[in-house]
Copies of this chain bind each other. A is one copy, B any other.
């Protein structure tokens, strides 16, 4: 490797997570157990008990690309939305979304390449191409315009050797989304220059604050039918099953898939057979629709609590309200200037046992997003209420102190 940066958010959560009573650093919807998953079945559902046959199945490696049933159910997720869905054969199962991103970059990007990455986003997405020696340009969202992205700026970043544009929609850490018309413009640009798009749709379809009737509600980028696209996603965020380690990558292009299958062979043989079967069970009706509906309701209710806290402290807390994902990016200021977000998080943890993610450290390479914290609000509502109370007490005590 040319270099591997410290993966700041992973390090942060590993270091501080175990000590936190109120963990608002998490980025997923409240986890359910397998029993709870089973209870989402209906009386006339033949699959009510996924266990009996699973426990009696010899634990061999299973199918290399993932089971047909799971890949078909994932294909159905996309075909519900538009006719441009990938077939089951165009889907490759991975043990989580991270490895799907890893494989896509590892398979397709090399040292002579240029890669453009939407920013801010999950550190993996810009550190991976830099790690394999590619040149990386950041396509920066506009903080003062609700994290809007300007496609004209993207055009200006394209070079003759631009191999890949990496997107993240919905966006970690802001919880915003790239609207449909802008996705179309990005696809048109990529098509014109024959650039591969890798779109991390890890939080898809958790659009809690964009009506289904909104013409700008973003579909999966697969739906535009551009061949040169890879989409990655996972069971971890929207489906309450982070511990079932199933992610996937999908592409319309058999050549891309073939390169990814080969790269994947260097990292794993197959995924967990129990997880594969349970994921297929979770992603089939009626459980699928129930899970999403349940989590949309949870996240909307929780978002209202966070918004109320922010509204009570307008001079010190600002954000662009997230429209998707159970996370948001809050800017904390004091006398109009950003606070030291790392110091703030450390003291908040020490004094109130609340864990947040410091923005400058985990998203800004220590330079950008000073004063920002990522707050996850996907936990059970009562847990969130307690955590927000502790956070609010800290804010009140903190801001009662004179500036040093």
Contacts and interface: CB of A to CB of B under 8 A. Distances in A.
A293 interface: no
A182 to B, nearest CB: 28
Contact of A240 (B26, B59, B271): B59
B56 A243 contact: no
Given A55-B34, A95-B268, A267-B99, A4 B243 contact: no
A355 to B, nearest CB: 14
Contact of A242 (B4, B59, B128, B265): B59
Secondary structure at the A interface, as helix, strand, loop or mixed, is loop
Interface in A19-47: 26, 28, 30-35
A156 to B, nearest CB: 28
A404 B298 CA distance: 74
A124 interface: yes
A111 B111 CA distance: 11
B7 A266 contact: yes
Contact of A262 (B7, B35, B268): B7
B35 A60 contact: no
B64 A267 contact: no
A265 B101 CA distance: 12
A300 interface: no
A223 interface: no
Contacts of A111: 2, 133
For the side of the interface on A, what is the size category?
35 or more
Contact of A33 (B31, B59, B259): B59
A320 B315 CA distance: 78
Contacts of A34: 54-56, 59, 274
A281 to B, nearest CB: 12
B266 A98 contact: yes
Interface string A316-329: 00000000000000
Of the candidates A32, A261, A265, the one having the most CB atoms from chain B within 10 angstroms of its own CB is A265
* Most chain B CB atoms below 10 A, which of A58, A65, A133, A270: A58
Given A56-B35, A274-B244, A269 B98 contact: yes
A401 interface: no
Contacts of A132: 1
A241 interface: yes
Nearest to A245: B272
A267 B102 contact: yes
A106 interface: yes
A110 B2 contact: yes
Contacts of A242: 59-61, 269
- Most B CB within 10 A of own CB, among A64, A65, A259: A64
A212 interface: no
Nearest to A235: B59
Interface in A352-369: none
A58 B32 contact: yes
A95 B271 contact: yes
A225 interface: no
A14 interface: yes
A64 B95 CA distance: 14
Nearest to A111: B2
A1 B110 contact: yes
A68 to B, nearest CB: 11
A271 B6 CA distance: 20
Contacts of A268: 95-96, 98-99, 245
A292 to B, nearest CB: 16
Contacts of A62: 243
**6 A-B pairs with least C-beta separation:** A59-B243, A243-B273, A10-B265, A7-B265, A31-B58, A272-B272
